[in-house]
Amino acid sequence: MRSSDFTVIELCAGAGGQALGLEKAGLRITAAVDVDGDSCATLRQNRPDWHVIQSDLNEIEPVEHERLDTADILSCGLPRSPYTVAGKQLAARDKRDALRATLDMASYVRPRVLVIESLPTLHSSPRFEVEREMVRETIADLGYVSTWKVVSATDFGVPQHRSHGFVVAMGASDLARFTWPEPDPAPCPSLGQALHASIASRGWPGATAWAAHASEPAPLIMGGATGRGGADLGASRAKAIWARRHVYGGSLGDVPPGPDFRIDHSIEPKHGLVKITVPQVAILQGFPSDWKLHGRKTSTFRQISQATPPPVTAALGREIRTALEGPQHLPRRSDRRL
Percent of the chain with pLDDT over 70: 88
Residues 35 and 131 occupy one common structural domain: yes
Question: Is 289 inside any structural domain?
Answer: yes
Question: Is 140 inside any structural domain?
Answer: yes
Domain that holds residue 134: 3-183+307-324
Q: Give the pLDDT band (50/70/90) at residue 289.
A: very high
Residues 104 and 236 occupy one common structural domain: no
Residues 90 and 167 occupy one common structural domain: yes
- Sequence-distant (6+) residues with CB within 8 A of 48 are none
What pLDDT sits at residue 128? 86
Residues 99 and 121 occupy one common structural domain: yes
Question: Is 331 inside any structural domain?
Answer: no
Distance CA 306, CA 309 (A): 9
Is the pLDDT score of 320 beyond 80? yes
Question: Is 287 inside any structural domain?
Answer: yes
- Sequence-distant (6+) residues with CB within 8 A of 130 are 91
Percent of the chain with pLDDT over 90: 80
What pLDDT sits at residue 227? 56
- The per-residue b/e assignment along 135-164, b for 16 or more CB within 10 angstroms, e otherwise, is beebbeebbbebebeebbbbbbbbbbbbbb
Pairing mode of beta strands 163-170, 7-11? unpaired
Taking CA atoms, 102 is separated from 21, 182, 289, in Å, by 19, 27, 30
Question: Is 338 inside any structural domain?
Answer: no
Q: What is the pLDDT of residues 61-113, one digit of tens each?
A: 999 999 999 999 999 999 865 645 454 454 445 455 789 999 999 999 999 99
Q: What is the pLDDT of residues 180-236, one digit of tens each?
A: 999 999 999 999 999 999 999 999 999 999 999 999 999 999 876 655 557 899 888
Question: Residues for the chain: how many in total?
Answer: 338
**Total number of domains constituting the chain:** 2
Residues 174 and 237 occupy one common structural domain: no
In CATH, what number is assigned to the domain containing residue 98?
3.40.50.150
Residues 163 and 238 occupy one common structural domain: no
Question: Is 335 inside any structural domain?
Answer: no
Q: What is the pLDDT of residues 240-277, one digit of tens each?
A: 999 999 999 999 999 999 999 999 999 999 999 999 99
Residues 296 and 313 occupy one common structural domain: no
Question: Is 336 inside any structural domain?
Answer: no
pTM of the model: 0.91
Least confident piece of the model among 59-68, 103-112, 162-171, 329-338: 329-338
What pLDDT sits at residue 337? 35
Residues 34 and 129 occupy one common structural domain: yes
Least confident piece of the model among 16-20, 76-80, 167-171, 207-211: 76-80
Q: Could you tell me if 12 and 304 are in contact, meaning their C-beta atoms sit under 8 angstroms apart? A: no
- Sequence-distant (6+) residues with CB within 8 A of 179 are 319
Residues 38 and 111 occupy one common structural domain: yes
Residues 29 and 172 occupy one common structural domain: yes
Mean pLDDT throughout 290-305?
A: 96
Residues 204 and 63 occupy one common structural domain: no
Give ∠ CA 316-159-276 in degrees, rounded to 5. 130
- Work out the mean pLDDT of the chain and round it to a whole number: 90
Can you spell out the DSSP letters for 45-88?
A: HH-TTS-EEE--TTT--GGG-GGGS--SEEEEE--SGGGSTTTT
Distance CA 315, CA 312 (A): 5
Question: Is 134 inside any structural domain?
Answer: yes
Residues 33 and 133 occupy one common structural domain: yes
